[in-house]
Amino acid sequence: MRKVYMDYAATTYVKPEVLSEMLPYYGSIYGNAHSVHSYGREAAKAMELARSRVANAIGALDREIFFTSGGTESDNWAIRGVVSASKKGKHIITSQIEHHAVLHTCEQLQKEGYEVTYLPVDEYGTVSLDALKAAIRPDTALISIMFANNEIGTIQPIAQIGKIAKENNIVFHTDAVQAIGHEPIDVNEMNIDLLSISAHKIHGPKGIGALYVRKGVRINNLMYGGAQERGKRPGTDNTPLAVGFGKAIELACTDLEARNMALTEKRYQILNGVMSRISNVRLNGHPINRLPGNLNFSFSFIEGEALLLSLDLKGIAASSGSACTSGSLDPSHVLLAIGLPHEVAHGSLRVTIGDDTTQEEIDYFLRELPPIIERLRAMSPLTVED
């Protein structure tokens, strides 16, 4: 059966040129980067090249990059590490549409005595700058707002948020896991103090990410141990993964603009194709200001998991914000936050494409989707009259 991957926001394959740079570090170059001997020095050299590639991608200094196990650890560390070290107070500002790595960390901190403001978003999923300004208090220790949303792709006004944070002397963290390799990021221009990224979303290996921490920002450790990562993130350096991350981020940030344009063109082709072939469908997220490869639809009268299963039977891989795919009874918190009624949120479909998505794959998707929607709607007791 034909297989079409349209779930690039979930994860990506490791590019061959990334893997080939990694492999020697599983084989002959296996030293511990903190050993003094030649084995160690070779590994340490690779770590420093990887760190510098990550730093270059976001305009940071090498010493401001700390490798972690991925986006989730970076988010946990950024938030907990900053607020526990802060002398300003115990108030955090974030948004209602953050990734669970941020939201659940904030919820846990509330149980530990912190106060959290969850900023609402408008119908497109954009945080209001006025609401942000109004939420700031003298004891606000941290603002954490994601760069771009993983479900609906909406890009936040990060530079303006950074400016507001700086004017108010508040540390600003952004989860840029989805944005890296798609949006140009400069931590200095945008006044970003901490930034979370992950390798596997950009054709790097799973299990490694990084946290950028601006020089001078006070942050406590999550874990204690050896002196790795300048004593802030202990544990033996994972050299092969760091090497892969370094290569992947370098590739992901090359020709960014041209690749984005090509991706955006493909996105519009799918959007127009879906809108012209299917009725009672809406696009979730911002119409323009969104990640180039992200589309999120709500199809009325049907449920998302049934749709995913049907697509999967045709070899098409996508994802949904329906409750049945989240393991809970509630549909996606992001779709509810942009104001979708529950039943519409249940019928969502996220399609995320990448550089490798071909014309044939798009044609195949646009051919297979309408009969699937029609079949599920014919089975549904819900109709336009409801």
Partner 1 sequence: MYSEKVMDHFSNPRNVGEIENPSGVGTVGNAKCGDIMKIFLDIDNGVIRDVKFKTFGCGAAIATSSMATEMIKGKTLKEALKLTNKAVAEALDGLPEVKMHCSLLAEEAVKAAIEDYIAKNPDAPME
Q: Distance between CA atoms of 45 and 308, rounded to whole angstroms?
A: 45
Closest approach of Cβ 119 to partner 1, in Å? 25
Contact segment (CB under 8 A) with partner 1 among 17-25, 77-85, 193-201, 301-309 equals 301-309
Closest approach of Cβ 306 to partner 1, in Å? 5
Residues 6+ apart with CB under 8 A from 313: none
Closest approach of Cβ 303 to partner 1, in Å? 5
Q: Are strands 281-283 and 294-299 parallel, antiparallel or unpaired?
A: antiparallel
125 touches partner 1 by CB under 8 A? no
DSSP H helices, the chain, are 16-22, 38-58, 71-85, 100-111, 129-135, 158-167, 239-252, 256-277, 304-313, 323-326, 333-337, 342-346, 359-379
287 touches partner 1 by CB under 8 A? no
Q: Which of 16, 27, 113, 381 binds partner 1 (CB under 8 A)?
A: 381
Residues 6+ apart with CB under 8 A from 192: 158, 162, 172, 173, 174, 185, 212, 214
Closest approach of Cβ 66 to partner 1, in Å? 36
151 touches partner 1 by CB under 8 A? no
Strand-pair partners of 164: none
Residue (of 14, 4, 1) closest to 249 by Cα position: 14
HSE-CB at 266 with a 13 A cutoff on CA atoms is: 25
- The token duo for 35 is 């050993």
User: Is 324 known to be catalytic?
Assistant: yes
> Does residue 351 sit in helix, strand or coil?
strand
CB atoms within 10 A of CB 287: 9
Closest approach of Cβ 349 to partner 1, in Å? 13
**Which residues ranging from 318 to 377 are in contact with partner 1 (CB under 8 A)?**
322-324, 327, 329, 331, 341-343, 346
159 touches partner 1 by CB under 8 A? no
306 touches partner 1 by CB under 8 A? yes
How many chain residues bind partner 1 (CB under 8 A)? 24
CB atoms within 10 A of CB 7: 18
317 touches partner 1 by CB under 8 A? no
Contact segment (CB under 8 A) with partner 1 among 57-65, 102-110, 281-289, 304-312 equals 304-312
Closest approach of Cβ 101 to partner 1, in Å? 22
- The answer to whether 68 and 74 have CB atoms below 8 angstroms apart is yes
Strand-pair partners of 7: 352
1 touches partner 1 by CB under 8 A? no
> Does residue 124 sit in helix, strand or coil?
coil
Closest approach of Cβ 313 to partner 1, in Å? 6
- The answer to whether 194 and 162 have CB atoms below 8 angstroms apart is no
7 touches partner 1 by CB under 8 A? no
| Contact map string, positions 32 to 61, toward partner 1, x by CB under 8 A | ------------------------------
223 touches partner 1 by CB under 8 A? no
Say which of 324, 326, 343, 370 is annotated catalytic: 324
Which CB, 109 or 335, lies closer to partner 1? 335
Q: Distance between CA atoms of 324 and 203, rounded to whole angstroms?
A: 28
Which CB, 140 or 322, lies closer to partner 1? 322
382 touches partner 1 by CB under 8 A? yes
Q: Which of 64, 73, 98, 303 binds partner 1 (CB under 8 A)?
A: 303
Please identify every residue annotated as catalytic.
324
Binding site for partner 1 (CB under 8 A): 301-306, 309, 313, 322-324, 327, 329, 331, 341-343, 346, 378-382, 386
